[in-house]
Structure 1
Amino acid sequence: MNEKQLTSVSGYLFMLLAVLCLLGSVGLAFARLGFVLPGIIFLISMILFMGITVINPNEAVVCTFFGDYVGTMKQNGLRWVNPLYVKTKISLRARNLNGQTIKVNDKMGNPIEIAAVVVWQVADTARALFDVDNYVNFVQIQSEAAVRFLASSHAYDNMEDEHETVTLRDNTGQINKFLEQELDERLGQAGVRVTEARISHLAYSPEIAGAMLQRQQATAVVSARKQIVEGAVGMVEMALERLERKGVVQLDEERKAAMVSNLLVVLCGEKSVSPVVNAGTLYT
């Protein structure tokens, strides 16, 4: 079912007529001119009052007539429609859904904790009221299902799979786009539009958090060591090349090996190296 606009008229004139009819019926009753005419005028005033409704900004009124959807009024102010219409108000304002933290396995099977914040609003009032039973509850359940699907479709990070390009931890912007697309597909049935969706909490589950922290630390240490070694090898190559080019000293292969070893110890060591003066030669 798709939303359709319902044309309404200004309710100020009908409000004035309803008040005048009400006062007229009361005056005729006190004048003791019978009960028929005052009763008819009172009934007319009540019918006029029934057709009046107040629509606030970012609010809509869905009208049905004996179970048949007639249309939706979105004009702000005091409006008047057929008094026999059943009117249901629905908010069009943006709402925040602060999802609960849930535990789910990521793509690699690791248990993680994840939560999301979703900003949504009703875009189609007819679908929101008639295509689902309770659109607010529908948004909550489908948002949690979308977060679970997203977490199970991507790895937490790329430590186990180096070829993984999109991870939950490293590609936050792209992950949020995937979450918005998934929510739009799921919530479109309820006439709900998602304006923003973001991961608000992401962490390993407590039972594996310690082990994963150690693995991350080990990976960081290995990566740092790799860069240090690459830089040290480059500096040793540059030193040997400059010594040979300028003819400062002539080194055989064994002395080159000793020099390389000493330089690598100095450059790659975690602590400051204490120099040792060799008063003899390499061979004594």
Structure 2
Amino acid sequence: MNLEENPKQNVIEEKELKPLNGGPVLLLLLLELTLSIVFFVLGCIFLDNENYILGGFMLAIGIVAFFAFFFLIPGLHIVNPNEALVMTYFGQYYGTIKHQGFYYTHPFASAFNPTHRGAASTASANGSQTNGMQDAPTLSKKISTKTMTLSNERQKVNDVLGNPIIIGAIVIWKVADPTKAVFNVENYKLFLSIQCDSTIRNIARLYPYDTFEDDSDEKTLRGSSQEIADSMKAELQQRVEEAGLNIQEVRITHLSYAEEIAAAMLQRQQAVAIIAARQKIVEGAVSMVKMAIEQLGEEEIIVLDEERKAAMVSNLLVVLCGNKDIQPIVNTGSIY
């Protein structure tokens, strides 16, 4: 069969179970266990009194009831808050319990979780690998619907200019559809981790680390980190939608140049900062010199010709723009 003709043939729709209350069922099972012991004891008594028919009948009922108790007891399940239980019945999807409580289901229906220790060990033997704490096998077969954090390891990528950078992020996520998380992917935690790595790499290579220009409107990894994190969230959500996961937030936790170019980029940043600072100093010095000459002329404190104005401007600019303390020289004579 061509898979393109029926792309949804393996999609399983979630079916929420409404099982029996486990409290009354547990009381009935305990009563059954007690009666089985009573029948077993009475059967032994009747057999001892040579009443073989009644004794054998009661003994058989006691033995059958005793083993029936252990046959029926696996149907009891406890679901804690923010947990779900996905059930299968002889390889078929049976249903999902999504609400907290104590329930009783079919004794042959079993919980299924691909991240459970047994399932994870089987996947590892088949060649799958896990990465990080999020992919470690769990002890419970229940699916946690709590909000969780995936800490993505730092990875080296190239920005849009080809500069190697180191970037790391964390992902705040939760399981929104336990049925999809269990049946649509092999291991939803490992699936999320791999998709997170791919998403960060794809988004980071679309932007430069920095433009080194104050008036530039171009988005950069350093200057527009929140907007880029939102883009990562949108793309990651699209990638993990089929696994029933909900991405609540993506945060960039580490961003730096790679070691091989860090020193050169630091010098470039320092040069840009020095040029910007010098530009501000010169602009301020020119305005101050202009103001001084205008005030001297308006108040007629001193009359300066063009040559003296030029000398004064030169001296003031040297004083105001210098990066060292100026040693004043007092002139007691004529400048000519």
Normalising by structure 1, report the TM-score. 0.92
Structure 2 CA distance for partners of 1:161 and 1:205, relative to 1, 3 Å: farther
Q: Distance in 2 between matches of 1:17 and 1:232?
A: 94
For CA contacts below 8 A with separation 6 or more, give which structure has more relative contact order. 1
For structure 2, the 5+ residue unaligned runs are 1-11, 44-54, 113-141
Pair 1:27 & 2:75 matched = no
Which residue of structure 2 lines up, in the alignment, with residue 109 of structure 1?
A: 162
Q: Distance in 2 between matches of 1:249 and 1:97?
A: 74
Which residue of structure 2 lines up, in the alignment, with residue 63 of structure 1?
A: 87
**Contact 1:18 1:44 (C-alpha < 8 Å) held by counterparts:** no
**Contact 1:17 1:45 (C-alpha < 8 Å) held by counterparts:** no
Which residue of structure 1 lines up, in the alignment, with residue 267 of structure 2?
A: 214
Which residue of structure 2 lines up, in the alignment, with residue 256 of structure 1?
A: 309
Residues 28-74 of structure 1 deviation map (CA, whole Å, 9 limit, x = unaligned): 22333335423432354234312210111111101223333232112
Pair 1:247 & 2:300 matched = yes
**Contact 1:18 1:46 (C-alpha < 8 Å) held by counterparts:** no
- 1:214 CA drift (Å): 0.9
Q: Distance in 1 between matches of 2:211 and 2:41?
A: 86
Q: Cα RMSD over matched residues? A: 2.0
Which residue of structure 1 lines up, in the alignment, with residue 3 of structure 2?
A: none
Query: After the TM superposition, which of the residue ranges 50-59 and 165-174 deviates more from structure 2?
Result: 165-174
Which residue of structure 2 lines up, in the alignment, with residue 141 of structure 1?
A: 194
Q: Distance in 2 between matches of 1:8 and 1:133?
A: 27
Q: Distance in 1 between matches of 2:238 and 2:195?
A: 10
* Matches for 1:115-154 after TM superposition, within 5 Å: 115-154=168-207
Q: Distance in 1 between matches of 2:34 and 2:74?
A: 17
> Which of 194, 201, 204 is the equivalent residue of 2:247?
194
Which residue of structure 2 lines up, in the alignment, with residue 90 of structure 1?
A: 143
Pair 1:48 & 2:59 matched = no
- 1:143 CA drift (Å): 0.9
For structure 1, the 5+ residue unaligned runs are none
How many aligned residue pairs are there? 283
Partner amino acid, structure 2, of 1:111: P
Which residue of structure 1 lines up, in the alignment, with residue 334 of structure 2?
A: 281
Normalising by structure 2, report the TM-score. 0.78
Pair 1:9 & 2:20 matched = yes
Q: Distance in 1 between matches of 2:304 and 2:312?
A: 9
Partner amino acid, structure 1, of 2:257: Y
Query: After the TM superposition, which of the residue ranges 149-158 and 132-141 deviates more from structure 2?
Result: 149-158
**Contact 1:232 1:264 (C-alpha < 8 Å) held by counterparts:** yes
Query: After the TM superposition, which of the residue ranges 158-167 and 105-114 deviates more from structure 2?
Result: 158-167
Structure 2 CA distance for partners of 1:2 and 1:222, relative to 1, 3 Å: farther
Q: Distance in 2 between matches of 1:110 and 1:156?
A: 8
